[in-house]
Structure 1
Amino acid sequence: MKLSQILKPEAIKVIASASSKKRLLHDIGELAQSAHGLDQNRVVEALQERESLGPTGVGHGVALPHARLSGIDKVQGAFIVLERPVDFNSIDRLPVDLIFALFAPEEAGVEHLKALALVSRSLRDVALCKKLRANQDAATLYAILTSDQNMQAA
């Protein structure tokens, strides 16, 4: 699996700021609807439900919100860069500015886990995150995320 298989150029957005984690989840829902045709309300609800189990802020300014949704047939992603970080209840208590959201079919066990592992491993790369933070253009962000094809899941 490669990032280019779960992320498409129109699923990337730079947002000046989000007033809260809740607002950010709504922004993710809007992006999922416009890029993937997913129901915004269902996306937001599923992400909020997942967050209630434990925050998906993984540290170092990165959050990986994810949810399983009925009616989709493959894992899909959305990526947001925030110009001003927002509190996401991350494990290191630092606000987040890089958000990679994943949406998986309800029955996708292994594929969902592979995608989550791939994104997590990719965004642990300090150099990659530095490049992402230094760019505000969605097309450039897509190229950065998908060009390094050594970022593959097993």
Structure 2
Amino acid sequence: MELSKLLIPGAVRVVGQFTSKKRLFQELGEVAAQAYGLNGAAAIEGLQERETLGPTGVGHGIALPHARLEDLKSIIGVFVRLEKPLDYDSVDRQPVDLVFGLFAPKDSGVDHLKALALVSRTMRDQGVVSKLRANSDPAKLYAILTEARAPQAA
């Protein structure tokens, strides 16, 4: 699995700031709706529902919100870089500025976990993270995220 199979250029954005996690989820839903034709309201609801199980802020300014949705045919991704970090209730209590949202079909099973692991590995790569934080052009951000990497064991 490769990030270029999960993420399209139109699903990468740079935004100024948000005042709440809820507003960030609304943005992720809107981007998913515009880029993939996804039901934005269902996407937002799915993200909020998953977040009640525990925060998806994984530390170091990174959040990986995700949801399983009805009527979705394949796993898709949305990436948002925040110019002003948002308090996200992350595990390390640090504000978040890099957000990779993942949406999967309800019955995706292990594929959803594989996609989440791929995104997590990518976002733990300090070289990738540094480049993402140094760029504000969505096309460059997409290129950084989807650069070919050597396959790694999960």
Query: Fold conserved (TM > 0.5)?
Result: yes
Secondary structure at 1:18's aligned position in 2? coil
1:8 aligned partner: 8
Q: Which residue of 2 aligns with 1:61?
A: 61
- Deviation by residue 1:69-120 (Cα, 9 ceiling, x = unmatched): 0111110000000000001110000000000000000000111000000000
In the alignment, the residues of structure 2 paired with residue 46 and residue 130 of structure 1 have an alpha-carbon distance, to the nearest angstrom, of: 30
Q: 1:49 matched to which residue of 2?
A: 49
* Alpha-carbon shift at residue 123 of structure 1 (Å): 0.4
Asked whether the 8 Å contact 1:77–1:103 carries over to 2, the reply is: yes
How far apart are 1:126 and its partner, in Å?
A: 1.1
Task: Give the TM-score taking structure 1 as reference length.
Answer: 0.97
User: What is the distance in 1 between the residues matched to 2:34 and 2:137?
Assistant: 18
Structure 2 residue ranges without an equivalent (≥5):
none
CA–CA distance in structure 1, aligned partners of residues 97 and 121 of structure 2: 17
Indicate if the aligned counterparts of 1:17 and 1:82 stay in contact, CA closer than 8 A.
yes
User: Separation in 2 of the partners of 1:143 and 1:30?
Assistant: 22
Distance 2:96 2:107 in 1: 29
Distance 1:20 1:82 in 2: 12
Distance 1:17 1:151 in 2: 34
Contact 1:25/1:44, CA 8 A, preserved across alignment: yes
The aligned residue for residue 84 of structure 1 is 84
C-alpha distance in structure 1 between counterparts of 2:152 and 2:12, whole Å: 19
Name the structure 1 match of 2:134.
134
* In 2: Cα distance, 1:12 partner to 1:153 partner: 27
Report the alpha carbon displacement of residue 152 of structure 1 after superposing the two structures with TM: 5.9
* CA–CA separation in structure 1 for the residues paired with 2:16 and 2:148: 26
Name the SS for the 2:16 alignment partner: strand
Find the aligned partners of 1:54 and 1:90 in 2 and give their Cα distance. 10
Q: Name the % identity.
A: 57
Secondary structure of 1:53's partner? coil
Per the alignment, residue 145 of structure 1 pairs with 145
Which aligned pairs between 1:91-130 and structure 2 lie closer than 5 A? 91-130=91-130
Structure 1 runs of 4+ with >4 Å offset:
151-154
